[in-house]
Amino acid sequence: MKKVLLLLSFVLTYITFAQGIDSSLYVYDFELSDMSIIERVNFLQQKGFEGVTFRVQNSSHINKLKSYLNTEAVKSGEFSVPIIYIQYEFGRRDELDPIWKEVLSLAPKLPIWVIVRNNDNLATKDRTVDLFKNMCAEAQKSGSNIVIYPHDNTFIESIEDALPYINEVNASNLKLSFHLCHELRAGNGNRLLDVALSALPYLTYATISGSNISVKDNSKDWSDTIKPLDEGDYLVEEFVSVLQKIKFKGKTILHTFGIKNNKNHLDRSLKKWKKMIQSTYQDLNTNLNSILDAPENAY
């Protein structure tokens, strides 16, 4: 009887104090090039997105970042650029190092995502460790974070590939992101909770998309794992449920790369996101199996 009462007490306490993940959703600005920056911001705001992310790889992209930062919506805080990303290649370091340093100068608090590419076979563990140490030292001066972006068919393809660099660099501002499409490509579709728990202290961003269960390997065609949220036979709720279970406090971004009908699906994807947030949170806090399955309740 005492065990039953303790269990019920724990369940009620868990339900009372558990908090769901942030329901805000951000988005990549793929397939919006026919709009001016102001038009993109207005369009995405009207759809209900909280902000936008994009690549900053050259001086043209720097100007694009400036344009976003100079919009009234961003300056007022009604809309944001939560993070930008750079695809880093060691053979182009003389070209790329000034770019990420200019980003830090232009927007000191803006985090930088880093995809480490290896198209020229110059990426090594030592070079990558040195890169992250250098970037973190510079970013720390302005209070910014460097975030490892695991990406299929690059030097760091998954969260588990990234963790050794987190440990070796040992910088408080080196963080990590959780990408459904890339973890699926890495073969982690059935163990997303294990993967998330291994990186929990460092996770600050997540990206989500509709997907198929069966995915391609090292393909440049992302139509298998980047779909509108209401398309594909993979149960995307599983990913959202993992975010709920680990009490993810970062920002979630809708991945839209290669989706040609981008403007048409955004409403549907946002509607699906809001529905999943509600249903997975309710399940986590009302379904006894889900409650006892939560990682902090394993004992």
pLDDT at residue 16 greater than cutoff 70: no
Type and span of the H or E element at 66: helix 59-69
Q: What value does the mean pLDDT of the chain take?
A: 91
Residue 101 exposed, middle or buried by CB count within 10 Å (0-12, 13-18, 19+): middle
Residues 134-153 have a mean pLDDT of 97
Q: What is the pLDDT of residues 192-247, one digit of tens each?
A: 999 999 999 999 999 999 999 999 888 899 999 999 999 999 999 999 999 999 99
Nearest to 180 by CA among 84, 291, 273: 273
Distance separating alpha carbons of residues 192 and 181, to the nearest angstrom: 11
The pLDDT of residue 293 is 60
φ, ψ dihedrals at 114, nearest 5°: -130, 115
- What Å distances lie between residue 88 and 1, 118, 132, CA to CA? 60, 9, 11
Residues 280-288 have a mean pLDDT of 79
Nearest to 159 by CA among 97, 201, 210: 201
More reliable by pLDDT, 299 or 216: 216
pLDDT at residue 109 greater than cutoff 90: yes
φ, ψ dihedrals at 86, nearest 5°: -130, 140
Residues 181-187 have a mean pLDDT of 97
Q: What is the pTM of this model?
A: 0.89
Distance separating alpha carbons of residues 186 and 123, to the nearest angstrom: 19
Distance separating alpha carbons of residues 196 and 204, to the nearest angstrom: 11
Could you give the domains of the chain?
21-294 (3.20.20.150)
Residue 118 exposed, middle or buried by CB count within 10 Å (0-12, 13-18, 19+): middle
Distance separating alpha carbons of residues 198 and 183, to the nearest angstrom: 13
- Six token digits for residue 204: 């600050």
- Contact of 253 with 207, CB cutoff 8 Å: yes
